[in-house]
Structure 1
Amino acid sequence: MEIRASTVLPAERRPITLHTADDLELVGELALPPGGAKPVATLVCLHPLPTAEGMMDSHVLRKAAFRLPALAGVAVLRFNTRGTTSRRGTSQGEFGEGEAERYDVAAAIEFAEFEGLPNPWLLGWSFGTELALKWGCDPEVSGAILLSPPLHRTTEADMAVWAESGKPVVALVPEFDDYLRPDEARTRFSAIPRAEVIGVDNAKHLWVGEPYVRIVLDEVVRRVAPDAHPLPTEWDGPFERDTM
């Protein structure tokens, strides 16, 4: 059966709570490959701007959690940054303009390490890309995949940290993005020698439409779980319902 926008594939899902160094509790969910299979890689998801309705359930991140554990053997960790609300609940604290969220990013990376989750990659979207670039270059992190990076908060010093680390950075930039388009993105990301900028024809900042979601998830899997690339568009196994 064809995998559609609303498809939920099997996974071992459980609610989680992240604990920050400044004593906040953040709500989230961990989705693991079904049947007790060990994941081959991990996505630590950093969602879009919460003051513009971004949250852990923002659709690309939700669909990553619904599909990639079964299709690619990838663990998907999603959470709400401080003060952010989704169906899972509301994380403690208040929006920190991308500064206080450094503790949120650190808590998610530490959780992945504590759980023994392998090969963790940051998957940031919009505001989440700023968090990845500013606070995510941790020794435990394998690399970063950035969806619609605006580069509003990111400084030259942040870029230099990633450049010095040698870690891969992949930016998926919509042709018709509202904030940063492919040509300018290539110029800005030239500060990171290992950065790769992929322009996506006809796409917009919010990646609305199943064809664009598939492009994103395919490019993610190409980097973090290459043996599973390209992702299938059909699934012959059981389906689940979206209950979280």
Structure 2
Amino acid sequence: MTFDPASYDFTQAAGPVPIRASTVLPARRENVELQTADGHTLVGELALPETGEIRATLITLHPLPTHGGFMDSHVYRKASYRLPALAGIAVLRFNTRGTGSPRGTSTGAFEEGVGERHDVEAAVRFAVERGLPNRWLVGWSFGTELALMYGATEPVASQVEGAVLLSPPLHRATDKHLQLWAESGKPLKVLVPEHDDFLQPAEAAARFSLVPQAHVLGVDGAKHLWVGEKYAARVLNEIVGHVSATGGNAAALPTEWDGPAATAAS
């Protein structure tokens, strides 16, 4: 059965409560489908602020589906739970081709990042057609490869402001892709865990030196999957600070919420 985001049960506590991993804050959430140029249907969810302006839009690209990555990978799930309410940010999550989650399964099969070019283009096109402003690619692990390979070329480049990369392995993305980003002039924020399994901060800084506008930030104590509320919150703060209208340092998102909230199933 496809998960329905309208099924969250929101209740009002007597006062402020801590925002935990499973806390869902109010948003306008809807299941969406993205149509690729090569005929696939990708399933996803769009979470929008309940009220007020949309300050930025995150187009999220998930980790490797053959190793458990999907639209519900925990950092992206928490982004959709929190950022519409806390930061006025829209969050688009979707399963790349052949990937499944409680939301459903996208058609097609994993194509090692090649056919997924159409998936990136479909997601950006959807955001543009919905009129979502200040659009940023946010890639995590395999998703960073997609952002780097396809984010600085058309038709995507002119439709996004830049990208935020979480735990980039730089396996599929090459120096050629980094050079394209350098030529585009579009900003890159690169968050690299101290204990990453694939690319650690010193090597990441050397590799991304090809992109003068890239800001590489090593995160002490973190691992590739950003496990733990401390690290997930750090990532969300860094993303919000980077994509805000003024850009710059990490945001200081609230850690408590005084309003209706729901609890997601684990």
The TM-score by the shorter chain falls in which range?
A: over 0.9
Matched, 1:82 2:97: yes
Q: Aligned equivalents of 1:200 and 1:236: distance in 2?
A: 30
Match of 2:49 in 1: 33
Q: 1:175 to 1:217 in 2, by over 3 A?
A: same
User: Given the alignment, which residue of 114, 119, 131 partners 2:134?
Assistant: 119
Match runs of 1:101-120 below 5 Å = 101-120=116-135
Q: Deviations over 1:122-151 (max 9, x none)?
A: 110000000000012211110100000000
Indicate if the aligned counterparts of 2:193 and 2:223 stay in contact, CA closer than 8 A.
Answer: yes
Distance in 2 (CA, whole Å) between partners of 1:229 and 1:212 is 14
Letter in 1 for 2:262: E
When normalised by structure 1's length, the TM-score is 0.97
1:60 maps to what in 2? 75
- 8 Å contact from structure 2 (residues 34, 44) kept in 1: yes
Pick the structure with greater CA Rg.
2
Distance 1:197 1:156 in 2: 16
The residue type paired with residue 20 of structure 2 is R
Question: 2:13 matched to which residue of 1?
Answer: none
1:14 alignment counterpart: 30
Query: 2:264 and 2:45 mapped to 1: Cα distance?
Result: 13
SS of match in other structure, 1:122: strand
In angstroms, what is the RMSD of aligned CA positions? 1.2
Structure-to-structure mapping, 1:135-154, within 5 angstroms: 135-137=150-152, 138-154=157-173
CA distance in 1, matches of 2:30, 2:78: 16
- Return the alpha-carbon distance in structure 1 between the equivalents of residues 31 and 53 of structure 2: 18
152-161 vs 219-228, which moves further: 219-228
Within 2, Cα distance between the matches of 1:139 and 1:130? 19
SS at match of 1:190: helix
- Residue identity matched to 1:222: G
Match of 1:73 among 88, 102, 106: 88
> Could you list the runs of 5+ residues in structure 2 that have no partner in the other structure?
1-16
Match of 2:172, SS state, is coil
What CA distance in whole angstroms lies between the structure 2 residues aligned with 1:232 and 1:128? 27
- Does the aligned pair in 1 maintain the 2:43–2:95 contact within 8 Å? yes
Deviation at 1:160? 1.1
Cα distance, 1:161 vs structure 2: 1.0
Counterpart CA distance in 2 for 1:229 and 1:188 is 27
- Structure 1 unaligned residues grouped into runs of 5+: none
- Percentage of identical aligned residues: 63
User: What TM-score comes out, normalization by structure 2 length?
Assistant: 0.89
Deviation at 1:226, TM superposition (A): 5.9
2:164 aligned counterpart, secondary structure? strand
Output the amino acid matched with 1:150.
Answer: P
CA shift, 1:34, in A, is 1.1
Larger RCO, structures 1/2 (Cα 8 Å, 6+ apart): 2
User: Could you tell me which residue of structure 2 aligns to residue 202 of structure 1?
Assistant: 221
Deviations 1:78-129 (A, max 9, x none): 0000000000000000001001100000000000000000000011000000
Contact in 1 for aligned 2:50/2:84 (Cα 8 Å): yes
| Alignment partner of 1:99 is 2:111 | no
2:241 alignment counterpart? 222
Report the counterpart of residue 144 of structure 2 in structure 1: 129
Alignment coverage as a number of residue pairs:
242
